[in-house]
Amino acid sequence: MAPTVKRAFKYRFYPTAEQAAELARTFGCVRLVYNRALEERTRAWYIEQRRMSYVDTSAALTAWKKTEDLAFLNEVSSVPLQQALRHLQAAFVGFFDKRVRYPRFKSRKKSRPSAEYTRSAFTFRDGELRLAKMSGPLNIRWSRPLPEGAEPSTVTVSKDAAGRWFCSILCADAITRLDPSERAVGVDAGITSLVTLSTGEKITNPRHERRDRDRLARAHKELARKQKGSANRDKAKRRLARVHARITDRRRDFLHKLTTRLVHENQVVVIEDLNVTGMTRNHCFARAISDASWRQLRTMLEYKADWYGRDLVVIDRWFPSTRTCSQCGTITQKMPLNVREWQCGGCGARHDRDVNAARNVLAAGLAVSACGAGVRPQRESSRTGQSAVKQETHGATRGLPRS
C-alpha cells in the first residue's frame, strides 16, 4: 500500500486590486498579532516570571480586539491571526527544546508577508479556491494538478520581495514506492563539479549566481543611486529581488531534477556530512559554496529517499575520503586543493581526486548499511601512515533514516 504524506503544492496567483488590498491588511494584522504576543510573553517571563501559553495569548487577542486602538483586527479573518499565535507557540517549544534560537520579531521590511488559512477559512470546490472575507476565487495558475480527490487542510498565501503572489496548498498525497534496485552510488560534492558520482560521472555546477552576477551588480548600483524612502527606490528593490528570484528558481529546479534522478536510479545513496556553515567562513569560497547549495541538495535527498523507499546514508565529515586510495586503502598525509589527480604511494594506482572520493564514500556507506561498521577517520601511526587501530563505531549509523 502506498504511504500517504502531507505534501504542499505551491502555485502562483494574480489577485485583483480588492484581493491584494485585503491580503495586505491580513499580512499586517498577522505580523502585529505575532509581535505583540511575543512582546507579552517576553514581558511576562522577565518581569513576572510567568510563562504564557497559546491559550493565554488567544485570550489576550480577544481582549485586544475589544480595544479602540486594535478594533481593526476584526476586519480581517480571525483564522490567520490564530495561526500566527500557534506558530509563535511552536517557536517557543523549539526554543525550550534547545533546537532553535529565541523567537524574533517580524520586520515589516525584511520578513516575508504570509497568512495561513485552515479549513474553516477557505473553500475549495471545482478547482476554485476562495478565502474568507473575499467575494471571488483566486486567479491561480495551476502549473500541475493536485492529487485526485485532494482535500486541502491548510492554504498559506504569501508575497515575495519581487512582488509575486503564491499560495501553498497542503493536502494528503499517496506516494508510489519505487521498485527495489540493486544499484548504489556514492556522491562527492564539489564546486567545479557540483557532484561527482562513484560511477565516474561528473555533473557540472551550473553556477547560477555567477552567470547572473552582472545583472546583480547593475541592480545593486541602481538601488544605491536611489534616494531612501522614494518610490523609485522601492522599484529598484523589486528589480533586484526579481534577479535573486530568477537565480533561486533556476537553482531549485536543477537540484530537484538531480536529486530525483539519483533517488530513482539507486537503492542506496551515500553522501558526506559536510559542515557547510564552517566552510562558508572561508571568504575565498563562501560565495561559490553558497551558490552550490549543498544543504538544499541534502534536504531534497532526505525527504525523497523517505518517500520512495530508498536508503540515504550520511557518513562522518571527518572520514578521509579524498586522501584514501580506493584500491588499497593507503592514506596520504596531505592533499592540497590544487591536486586534482594523484598517484597512490602504496599500489601505484592513479586517481581522479573527486572520483576516488566518491568511491570511498560509497564503500563506507555500504559498510554502514551492511553491518554498522564505523566510518570515522582511521587513526594513523606517525611513522608509517597506516591505520594504528580499527575504525571507531561511535556514530556509525549517523544520518541513517529513522524508522
- DSSP string covering 178-212: PPP---EEEEEE-SSEEEEETTS-EEE---HHHHT
Please tell me the distance from the alpha carbon of residue 202 to that of residue 188, in angstroms, as a whole number: 10
Strand 184-189 to 268-272 pairing: parallel
Neighbours of 248 (CB within 10 A): 16
Whether residue 22 is predicted with pLDDT greater than 70 in this model: the reply is: yes
Position 340 scores a pLDDT of 85
Whether residue 229 is predicted with pLDDT greater than 70 in this model: the reply is: yes
Closest CA to 269 of 297, 235, 234: 297
Closest CA to 81 of 27, 13, 155, 16: 27
| Alpha carbon distance, N-terminus to C-terminus of the chain | 17
Q: Is the pTM of this model over 0.95?
A: no
Residue 309 φ then ψ, to 5°: 75, 30
Position 126 scores a pLDDT of 87
Please tell me the distance from the alpha carbon of residue 65 to that of residue 157, in angstroms, as a whole number: 23
Position 369 scores a pLDDT of 74
Strand order through the sheet with 154-159: 114-118, 154-159, 165-174, 4-13, 140-141
Whether residue 316 is predicted with pLDDT greater than 90 in this model: the reply is: no
Going by pLDDT thresholds of 50, 70 and 90, the confidence category of residue 302 is: very high
Residue 11 φ then ψ, to 5°: -135, 155
Please tell me the distance from the alpha carbon of residue 305 to that of residue 268, in angstroms, as a whole number: 9
Name 139's Cβ contacts closer than 8 Å, sequence gap at least 6: 13, 14, 15, 16
Please, what is the Cα angle at 288 between 285 and 294, to 5 degrees?
A: 105
pLDDT digits (tens, 9 = 90+) for 63-102: 999 999 999 999 999 999 999 999 999 999 999 999 999 9
Q: What sign results for the dihedral spanned by CA atoms 23, 127, 169, 74?
A: positive
Average of per-residue pLDDT values in the chain: 88
Please tell me the distance from the alpha carbon of residue 353 to that of residue 266, in angstroms, as a whole number: 23
Burial label, 1 (beta-carbon count in 10 A; 0-12, 13-18, 19+): exposed
Residue 129 φ then ψ, to 5°: -115, 120
Please tell me the distance from the alpha carbon of residue 196 to that of residue 115, in angstroms, as a whole number: 41
Position 372 scores a pLDDT of 57
Active-site annotation, residues? 188, 272, 354
Whether residue 304 is predicted with pLDDT greater than 90 in this model: the reply is: yes
Cell of 145: 494538478
Residue 233 φ then ψ, to 5°: -65, -40
More confident residue, 326 or 73: 73
SS3 content of the chain, % helix, strand, coil (to 5): 40, 20, 40
Half-sphere exposure of 115 (CA within 13 A, CB side): 26
* Single-letter amino acid, residue 292: A
Mean pLDDT of 118-142: 94
Going by pLDDT thresholds of 50, 70 and 90, the confidence category of residue 335 is: confident
Burial label, 91 (beta-carbon count in 10 A; 0-12, 13-18, 19+): middle
Closest CA to 88 of 12, 133, 31: 31
Going by pLDDT thresholds of 50, 70 and 90, the confidence category of residue 384 is: very low
